[in-house]
Amino acid sequence: MKILYLEDNTSDYELLDLSLQKSNLEFTLDRAENKAQYQKALETHYDIIISDYNLQGFTGTDALKMLREKDQSIPFVVISGTVGEEQAVSLLHYGASDFLLKKNVKKLPIIIERVLRNKMIDDERRNFQKELINKNLILDSLFNSFEDMVFLKDTNGTYLKVNTAFSRFFGFTEKAILGMTDGNLFDKNIAEKAQETDEHVRNNKLSITYEILFTGTDGVSRILEVVKYPVLDGNEVTGVVGSSRDITERKMLEEKNAKSQYILNQAEQLTYSGSFQYDSEVDILSCSPHFVKMMGIPGNINKISLMKFLGLVYKDDHKIFNDEIDKVLDKKVTVTIDHRYIPNGSKQIRYGRTTISPDYSTGNASIFYGTIVDTTSDYENDMALLNIQELERSNIANELHDNLGQKMSASALFLDGLVSKYPEDTELTKVANMINTSLTQIRSLSNTLSLSSIKEMGLEDSLRQLQDQIPLSIEFELHYSVDESSISEFISTQTFRIIQEAINNIQKHSEAKRIEIDIAQAQSVITLKIRDNGKGFDINAGVRGNGIRNMEQRVKKCNGLIHIDSKINEGTFIDIKLPIK
């Protein structure tokens, strides 16, 4: 340790040095003989300062005052020949650690050890107090940083501490709350509930959560959620700490959501539809109860993977369905897909329309919302109507071919004979030409209405035969790359009808000079691309014509997709995807 001895008498200094050397203390001893040396020495740190009381020009009390102006903690021991009672009181008043008569200098090592030990104890106490103050400041800051109303009670239910939010909400100052109980602050119902739950926490050493209705002085009722925990010292409960939170808005929102969910459930039940939310980050579909029911998923499961959902889509619709899902995920656009599906555990094919959209409300890139509407009943009705239409077309075609066509053929042969017999009769020639033209149109109309050519010649030859109905002024090009043996008869006939409708539409409205049709097959999907260089139209303007609507309806019945793009004076492009079966 470093010791400074303030002493103007050399003999006394040497005597003290000798006394310390005989002890077990490890030390270095410095000397200051006067006030100037002492002032300079105070610029260096010492563990203890020993001072004679009677010095030249000043006293031990003066030296002590000078030290305390710089440092309050360094021990200061006065050693002198005589110290009066008044001087001793003055020294203690200014913070002297001890004093000793020079005749008892041998006791100095013991006094030094005691003084340093006391200093260590004082330092620890000060550090503890400082730490305690800091902890209290941290606790206060933490308490008051909470938006919830935080409180601390003792085992008698007396409030020991509350935060600013608690005081502000209940309209009491912290000073007015501390030392009070719930019975002093609140009405009977709230106080009894608080006391009951406090007792539960203390007796069971477990937390508790409950809700209570609180009406403020302004007459407004609020719903509070209260959470309480036991304060434990070892295994002993020393109090209750808790928080209260105003959950009025949350409860109102929950009630609103519950009503919305009820309405959604009713709507889904009436329309035989279901809904879901898809989180692409975790690959989870959160499904509505009716979605679960539609898909045949066990009732205790309301979350499935996207792959599980795709597995319920009919196999021949997989490619188109997957491509559209990828479009939603990659391009963040809304898509609607008509498709077939087979509920889990069932063998029955059903028909549905799935719509999937990104989360436009929050912009969360990983969240998507979807609905599926069961369209089986509509599909069956549409198919029945389509079959009736095709049957009527077939009957009309047969009537034209077998009845009117035969009569027109006979008439044409008879007139051709008369023309040969009377070539100079121009009126007769004109009538014969009209009959032949009408016969050609009847045969063309019969072929248009009938699907027999597809069954007899196949899809490609039937499509190429359509070229005969196109004026020579229109350039026609057909690219065909399809394995007809893999396509169902229904898809073949609908493909023919769609292209037939497109060609008729182009001839009627587009004023095109060129028509190009590409038909290709990629695995289980047929792609139709129909282009013309006509006048085009505004696809966003008004109601679409019958031709386009008819094509869209047929594509829908095939569970396919259709996209139409047209620009004024640049022509029209129709892109269609159909499953092969």
The answer to whether residue 408 is domain-embedded is: yes
Give the domain-ending residue among 354, 374, 394.
Answer: 374
Residues 407 and 481 grouped into a single domain = no
**DSSP collapsed to 3 states, 184-237:** HHCCHHHHHHHHHHHHHHHHHCCCEEEEEEEECCCCCEEEEEEEEEEEEECCEE
The answer to whether residue 237 is domain-embedded is: yes
> What are the tens digits of pLDDT across the range 59-85?
888 888 998 888 888 999 988 876 666
Work out how many domains the chain is built from and give that number.
5
- Four-residue CA torsion sign, 491, 493, 496, 501: negative
Residues 436 and 466 grouped into a single domain = no
What pLDDT is recorded for position 412? Answer: 64
The answer to whether 297 touches 287, Cβ cutoff 8 Å, is yes
Residues 560 and 576 grouped into a single domain = yes
> What are the tens digits of pLDDT across the range 209-222?
999 999 888 888 99
Residues 384 and 366 grouped into a single domain = no
Q: What is the mean pLDDT of the chain?
A: 85
Q: What are the tokens at 245?
A: 């939170």
Residues 459 and 566 grouped into a single domain = yes
Residues 112 and 8 grouped into a single domain = yes
Diameter of the chain by CA atoms?
Answer: 174
Nearest residue to 215 (alpha-carbon basis) of 248, 254, 174: 248
CATH number at residue 25: 3.40.50.2300
What pLDDT is recorded for position 397? Answer: 56
Residues 35 and 98 grouped into a single domain = yes
Q: Name beta bridge partners: 480.
A: 519
What pLDDT is recorded for position 440? Answer: 64
| pLDDT reading at 394 higher than 70 | no
Residues 461 and 572 grouped into a single domain = yes
What pLDDT is recorded for position 19? Answer: 87
Q: Which domain holds residue 425?
A: 375-450
CA 273 to chain centre: 25
Residues 458 and 443: their CA atoms lie apart, in Å, by 19
The answer to pTM > 0.85 is no
Beta strand extents in 20-131 (DSSP E only): 28-32, 48-52, 76-80, 98-101
Give the domain-ending residue among 222, 246, 270.
Answer: 246
Residues 387 and 516: their CA atoms lie apart, in Å, by 29
Give the pLDDT mean for 424-429.
76
